Amino acid sequence: MNNLAEVAKYLHENDSFLVVSHAKPDGDAAGSALGLAALLLSNGKKAGVIFADDIPDKFKKLTSIQYSRAIPDWSVDCAYANLIVLDCARAIRLNAPWKVGDFPGTVINIDHHVDNDVNGTFNVVQGNASACSAMTSELASILEKDYKWQFNREAATMFYLGIVTDTGSFRFSNTNAATFRQAAFLLEHGADSEKVINCAYFSKKENQQKFEADMILNHVRRDFDGKYVWAYLEQDMFDRYNFDMKDGEGVIEFLREIDGGIIAVLIYPKDDTFKVSLRSKDVRYPVGPVARSLNGGGHEMASGITARGISKDELIDALKNKIGELLQS
């Protein structure tokens, strides 16, 4: 395993970096990737960003960095010498037609998911980091201190976005003393806290509000004396409100907020798969093992599954059985 100081040295001594993150990018994926690209570009490096899916509309107000949705074929199109993979626990979550191992140059893997399997040339995985953006923020501080890099406000703001959203505004159990030190460092470098908070939490469109209200009123189910709170949402509900889950990073929190609940699960169809978001608000009942047992991954208290080759009822039953075992353990 490598460390951020080794990565900082490599970034300083090399050029031409393509930055990627997981499909359906959330605040941490968008913040770490676009923030690092801003940092690289402002220090004279060639840098680009690719996401397989669009980032949430509300986050676009925070950055001027342009990203591409076109996934290159390394065998015919390799415009960059180095690939930086951020916040991606499983290589398959890049949702790309190519494999990371097929990239012809150096691969730098930076992540805070303990089950990371990307296996780059450089691998820095810190399971105790509150967000990948906290790690890229630390990387920026090393580059500033050791190599006199300039750290601009846009990069600081995007890293701050990642930390704020992945910690639920410093409410979740992944928040620690280092989280606040990194946040303070970013604020000292001009991170626009007010704009981040407004974009992340106070920029919800009316169709999303109606979608969430419908979910709470009509689709919430409770099992195991109310400790397991879950909802299954059919595609027609997304169509009815013209709502895309790329903008729904906080929807699962409505289930986690319900009093008496310990584990919250949101299930919905996506193309030929089912997407599952799992959250726990009690460290005695981590959902990470549940997700991994069903070929998912993520953090111990917040994880996800992309389920294939299984019916809706089979998936709902499998989740209920796994969570029942966990709650009764």
On the question of pLDDT at 306 being above 80, the answer is yes
Residue 79: band (very low, low, confident or very high) from pLDDT cuts 50, 70, 90 = confident
**HSE-CB of 287 using CA atoms within 13 angstroms:** 25
pLDDT for the residue numbered 102: 83
236-269 pLDDT tens trace: 999 999 999 988 888 999 999 999 999 999 999 9
Kindly report the CATH number assigned to the domain that includes residue 246: 3.10.310.30
CA nearest 84: which of 132, 148, 129?
132
Provide, rounded to the nearest whole percent, the portion of the chain with pLDDT above 70: 98
Domain-terminating residue out of 176, 201, 226 = 201
Same domain, 75 and 179: yes
Residue 126: band (very low, low, confident or very high) from pLDDT cuts 50, 70, 90 = very high
Same domain, 178 and 260: no
Same domain, 149 and 11: yes
Same domain, 74 and 215: no
Per DSSP (E only), the strands in 77-183 are 82-86, 106-111, 122-125
On the question of pLDDT at 157 being above 90, the answer is yes
Residue 73: band (very low, low, confident or very high) from pLDDT cuts 50, 70, 90 = low
184-196 pLDDT tens trace: 999 999 999 999 9
pLDDT, the chain, mean: 94
Same domain, 174 and 228: no
Task: State the Cα–Cα distance between residues 73 and 97, nearest whole angstrom.
Answer: 8
Count of structural domains within the chain: 2
pLDDT for the residue numbered 72: 65
Domain-terminating residue out of 150, 183, 201 = 201
3-class SS of residue 31: helix
Query: What's the pTM?
Result: 0.89
Domain-terminating residue out of 149, 172, 201 = 201
pLDDT for the residue numbered 329: 82
Place of tokens 């074929």: 73
Same domain, 176 and 223: no
Same domain, 184 and 101: yes
Residue 76: band (very low, low, confident or very high) from pLDDT cuts 50, 70, 90 = low
Same domain, 262 and 163: no
Residue 155: band (very low, low, confident or very high) from pLDDT cuts 50, 70, 90 = very high
Domain that holds residue 197: 4-201
94-103, 129-138, 261-270: least confidently modelled range:
94-103
Same domain, 14 and 125: yes
Same domain, 305 and 195: no
Same domain, 307 and 227: yes
Same domain, 158 and 228: no
Provide, rounded to the nearest whole percent, the portion of the chain with pLDDT above 90: 84
Kindly report the CATH number assigned to the domain that includes residue 134: 3.90.1640.10
